[in-house]
Each structure stands twice: as C-alpha cells, then as structure tokens.
C-alpha cells in the first residue's frame, strides 16, 4: 500500500475484518515493522524508530486503560514517562479533562465509569501527548448505537477544533462516510479506492467498493447490451434499462459482441410502478 495523509486531515481506513487496517495503523505507531518501504511523519523517516520516538498518540480498540490507576493517572501516564513536572502534568490533564467533560471523574477508576466516559479517558490519554498524529483503532465499536452516534459527532468536532492529523480505523461504512475527509477502502491488504466519501459513493472503483459502501447495499445484476430502434439497452432477467450511448462507447467491454456487464443500482434510485405502468428515468451512464 502507498498513501499520503494531508496535514490536519481526518482519514478513515475502511474495510472488512482482516483486510489489514489495524496492521497498517500499528506499523505507523511503531508496534509492527513493515516488510519493506518507509513510513514518514512530517517529512521525517520514522520507519525504524521506537514508538516513543514517533510522537504519535493512539486509542486502542479495547482502550488499554490501567484498571488500578485513577482517571487522572491514566491520562497523566504518557507525561510521567517523559518525566514532566508535576505542575505541567496537572495543568495538561485538567485542560484535556475539561475539554472532554470528564473533569468530575478524575478521582475514579476505569471500572467505575460508563462506556462513554471510558472512551473519553482513552481519548484524553491520547490528546494529552500533543502528538503529531492521532491514531484510532475502532475506538467506539463497543458502545451502544445511540452513544456511537453521539461520539461520532464529538470526535469529528474535536478533530476539527484541534486541527489534528488523524487516522481512524473502522469496518463501519456509515462511520467512515459521516466522519472522514477522505477514505481508504481496503481489502486483502490492498487499497481498492482512496478518495472523498462522496466520490467513493458516486463513482466506486470496482464492485467490491460499490457493494461495501452504502446502506442499504447496492443491487448488482447480470446483464448484456441489446439494441432496439437504434437505442442501446442493458437487458437482463426480467428487466431492460436504457443506457447512455456515449457512456457505452467509452466502456471497453461494450466493444465486444454480446459482452456481459454487471449493473449496479442503489436502492434510492429505484421507483415502484403498478403493473402495466411505465416510468422512464434517465438513461444509465
């Protein structure tokens, strides 16, 4: 894989389980070594640097909080490792806690917190480092649906406010479409498409992207090109749809006699008509 993230961008790595999203994130963090190639942050080659020398902050899928430490100590831990002064640690932790609205639970332990509060503590521990890059590995996947929706908005707002370069791993296409500036769609360790959410939705690079992104899923039907009265149609079992002649001329497969096509139609572009009625929409192209 090969990609570049812009400064201050919110990039989502999207794909099914096992496609390489988390491995990619862990290589950027320094927790895994790439088999070849380089990793650069702000122009600095960090491929062989230890995690603590990369200045990245990370939220793990399981949060990784220390159950025996208070919320304050969990957030402060990265600063104590760097042997910062007690005064500066206190100022930074309280500033982050105020921003995340968890200042009232700093004396509690993780086991005494709600799911949303636990997630905010994990994010606070990441933010307190003032890192060059923030890495998030499905940080809200274990929350209930209502809280996930709330946290999506909060995370996006926080990222824009901090203007932080963020890489976010998700298998949830709704999460990616609503939060990302750009999305990398992955499958089997390879990038399928790298573009804005709207472009990926409107112009998917292949059938995998087309069916993976969008809810409800795109309908995909087998069809062939036919012609009637000089007008081209995409014809399949039980349907015939007008096709744009200009578009067909640019499709390599259309040059082959009796070429087979895969027709993708999103449910929102389908209208229902009574038997015998005809509704002509725009030609497919």
Q: Which residues of the chain have pLDDT under 50?
A: none
Answer yes or no: pTM beyond 0.85.
no
Looking at residue 158, its pLDDT comes to 81
Cβ atoms 223, 263 nearer than 8 A: yes
212-232 pLDDT per residue, tens: 998 888 999 998 888 888 788
Looking at residue 159, its pLDDT comes to 85
């Amino acid at each position: 894989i090969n990609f570049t993230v812009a400064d201050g961008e919110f990039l989502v790595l999207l794909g099914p389980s096992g496609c390489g999203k988390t491995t990619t994130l862990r290589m950027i963090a320094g927790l895994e070594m790439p088999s070849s190639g380089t990793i650069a942050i702000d122009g600095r080659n960090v491929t062989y640097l230890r995690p603590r020398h990369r200045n990245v902050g990370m939220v793990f899928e399981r949060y990784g909080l220390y159950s025996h430490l208070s919320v304050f100590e969990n957030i402060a831990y990265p600063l104590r490792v760097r042997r910062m002064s007690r005064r500066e640690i206190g100022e930074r932790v309280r500033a982050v806690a105020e921003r995340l609205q968890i200042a009232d639970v700093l004396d509690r332990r993780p086991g005494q917190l709600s799911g949303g509060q636990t997630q905010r503590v994990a994010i606070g521990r990441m933010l307190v480092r003032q890192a060059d890059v923030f890495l998030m590995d499905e940080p809200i996947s274990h929350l209930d649906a209502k809280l996930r929706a709330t946290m999506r908005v909060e995370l996006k707002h926080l990222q824009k406010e901090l203007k932080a370069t963020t890489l976010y791993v998700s298998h949830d296409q709704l999460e990616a479409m609503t939060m990302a500036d750009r999305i990398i769609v992955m499958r089997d360790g390879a990038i399928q498409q790298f573009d804005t959410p709207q472009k990926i939705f409107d112009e998917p690079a292949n059938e995998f992207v087309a069916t993976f992104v969008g809810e409800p899923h795109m309908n995909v039907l087998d069809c062939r090109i036919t012609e009637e009265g000089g007008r081209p149609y995409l014809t399949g079992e039980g349907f015939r749809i007008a096709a744009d002649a200009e578009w067909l001329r640019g499709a390599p497969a259309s040059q082959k006699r009796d070429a087979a096509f895969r027709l993708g139609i999103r449910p929102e572009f389908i209208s229902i008509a009574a038997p015998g009625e005809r509704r002509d929409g725009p030609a497919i192209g």
